[in-house]
A and B are shown apart, each in its own frame.
Chain A
Amino acid sequence: MKASIRPYAFSALGIAGALVIWQVLATAQVAGNALPSATTVFTTLATILGTGTFWSALGATIGIALLALALAALAGVVLGLLIGSFESVRYATLAVLEFLKPVPPIVILPLAVLVLGPTAEMALFLVVFGCLLPIVMQTVDGVQGTDPVARDTARSYGMGEGEILARVVLPSAMPYIGTAMRLAAPAALVVTVVAGLLGGGPGLGQTIYQAQAAGDYASLYGLVIVLGVLGLLFQGATRLAERRVLHWHESYREVVP
């Protein structure tokens, strides 16, 4: 048990250390008004947490990120299965997808705002755009990585192509899809906030922008802390979900023969 407590103790120590350094630097006025002290920020944060606007903004951010993530996952897996399974679809789409892959969502943000306005739909579109392609690509890799022996087994038992896709290929591709989702979840949060911060979409990004415009640094830092915690929760949740779904996979197996 000693071994399992030690890492937590050191983590707590590290966090406490960072807070102390923050407090000292702020008290020494190294950055003037731009860096309020830790105590001020946490007091302000407590006040913010008591307001309804904060919670609705938080709800909007989480809602947009999760909905977009779900849409991207659904569309990405379906597209990935199609592209991975049919050579003609693969040749027809891969060039376009490879071209779009390195385009960061921030680049098309002005266009999205122009067309959709500073709305939740705009934010949703950007997040789906940002998360979709990595999920598609990983699913394609997963489909192509399906063991030919597993496929032959299914075929030799007379299973139809659709059934093989759903019951053999898709589960085989799940580890790839899981990796894509683990990377996409924090990215979805980031893009949602950026859409609010730079595009005026609803949620915490917009709240941060308003705090910045008002010169309310204490609130701004408080909201950043909230985002940081939210990011950790997203990552933890995806890890947990991955572990549950992929409990059979080599990297999660509890019993090794």
Chain B
Amino acid sequence: MSARPAPPLPLRNRKSTMAQQPETRISATTPRLDVAHLAKTYGSGEKSHTVIEDLTFTVDAGEVVCIVGPSGVGKTTLLKCLAGLHPASSGRAAIDGRTISGPPPEMALVFQDYNRSLMPWLTVRKNLVLPLRHLKLPAAELKERCDSALAAVGLSHADNQYPWQLSGGMQQRVAIARALAYRPEILIMDEPFASVDAQTRFDLEDLCLKIRKDFNMTILVVTHDIDEAVYLADRVVVLGSRPARVLKVVDVDLPAPRDQITTRSLPDFARQRTEVLSLIKRPA
């Protein structure tokens, strides 16, 4: 789907913890992230509650895919399944053909609630270090990773501050830097820019695109903002409720590099956001 070539990823750095899984041959057509007939039901018997019924979509290497849908559709549940935090009830999600059964080492997750996801007792730098400790990196590499991640989000000056001393937008940038320092190949973001003001939101969207370009990362963003989805994405997965199912996967063919002013004023932009919007607005 992506027009982007897939050069070797410079950031791949960890041994896979999924080695026990039977090895699946990775062909040129194996998507980076493959969600096939994924379902999630909480509880059992009469009290069971199906949040996701049958989701199927793929994300190719280096792609930015946005998932949009009405609120309460189960987008967060989907991300928790992808991140290996919740097991799927049936179907599967796989990275490079290997079924996700626990938090995948090549994936990092950015939550909407930066103020709940960042640890208030740690400085910015120590927040970055926290998830890296168990990787047992040499001190020099640890420092280099944190330095470059902070530089990438423009927060080199704030490394000794505490998250709560920073503005909301800066805190979300810290959360993104923490993900970058982890050097994931796949970055998953759950409504990452929903809790910041409009101007900061534009900046963070561009930061997201810059990260994709600079780090050649595969990015999956859940959002309820249709404009944001069209602006960011190579493809938009439109979900319908309830339980969640894929209404349509919309290919976004807007030229790169995208720009907040020129891209958003393109006729194609308006056409595609209308397409997505009408899918969501359509009575189920």
Listed in ascending order, the chain A residues whose CB lies under 8 Å from chain B are: 147, 149-150, 152-160, 163, 167-168, 171, 174, 248-249, 253, 255, 257
Known contacts A171-B119, A257-B164; is A149 also within 8 Å of B113 by CB?
A: yes
User: How many residues of B are counted as interface, with CB atoms below 8 angstroms from the partner's CB atoms?
Assistant: 27
Contact segment of B24-32, B45-53, B67-75, B129-137: B129-137
Listed A/B pairs (24) with beta-carbon separation below 8 Å: A149-B116, A149-B117, A150-B116, A152-B80, A153-B111, A153-B131, A155-B103, A156-B85, A156-B107, A157-B108, A157-B130, A157-B131, A157-B182, A158-B103, A159-B130, A159-B131, A159-B133, A160-B134, A171-B121, A249-B120, A249-B121, A255-B164, A255-B165, A257-B167
Alpha-carbon distance A167/B166, docked complex (angstroms)? 22
B121 touches A174 (CB 8 A): yes
**Chain A: minimal CB distance from B197 (Å):** 14
A158 touches B165 (CB 8 A): no
With A157-B130, A158-B105, A163-B133 already in contact, 12 other A-B pairs whose C-beta atoms are closer than 8 Å = A149-B117, A153-B117, A153-B131, A154-B131, A156-B103, A156-B109, A157-B131, A158-B103, A159-B134, A163-B134, A167-B130, A168-B119
Closest A residue to B104 by beta carbon equals A158
Q: B2 contacts the other chain (Cβ, under 8 Å)? A: no
Q: B38 contacts the other chain (Cβ, under 8 Å)? A: no
When each residue 81-120 of chain B gets 1 if its CB lies under 8 Å from chain A and 0 otherwise, what string results?
0011100000000000000000101011101010011011
B80 touches A158 (CB 8 A): no
3 nearest CB pairs, A to B: A157-B131, A149-B116, A156-B109
Residues on A with beta carbons closer than 8 Å to the beta carbon of B164: 248, 253, 255, 257
Q: Say whether chain B's binding surface is mostly helix, strand, loop, or mixed.
A: loop
Alpha-carbon distance A141/B281, docked complex (angstroms)? 44
Residues on B with beta carbons closer than 8 Å to the beta carbon of A154: 130-131
Residues on B with beta carbons closer than 8 Å to the beta carbon of A149: 111, 113, 116-117
Alpha-carbon distance A152/B110, docked complex (angstroms)? 11
Residues on A with beta carbons closer than 8 Å to the beta carbon of B133: 159, 163, 167
A257 touches B131 (CB 8 A): no
Q: Which of B85, B113, B121 contacts A155 (CB 8 A)?
A: B85
Residues on A with beta carbons closer than 8 Å to the beta carbon of B269: none
Residues on B with beta carbons closer than 8 Å to the beta carbon of A171: 119, 121
Residues on B with beta carbons closer than 8 Å to the beta carbon of A249: 120-121
Closest A residue to B188 by beta carbon equals A156
B84 touches A156 (CB 8 A): yes
Alpha-carbon distance A155/B116, docked complex (angstroms)? 14
Alpha-carbon distance A253/B162, docked complex (angstroms)? 10
Alpha-carbon distance A26/B108, docked complex (angstroms)? 74
Closest B residue to A156 by beta carbon equals B109
Q: Which of A150, A156, A248 contacts B162 (CB 8 A)?
A: A248
Alpha-carbon distance A248/B17, docked complex (angstroms)? 35
A150 touches B165 (CB 8 A): no
- Contacting residues of chain B (157-213) with chain A, CB-CB under 8 angstroms: 162, 164-167, 182
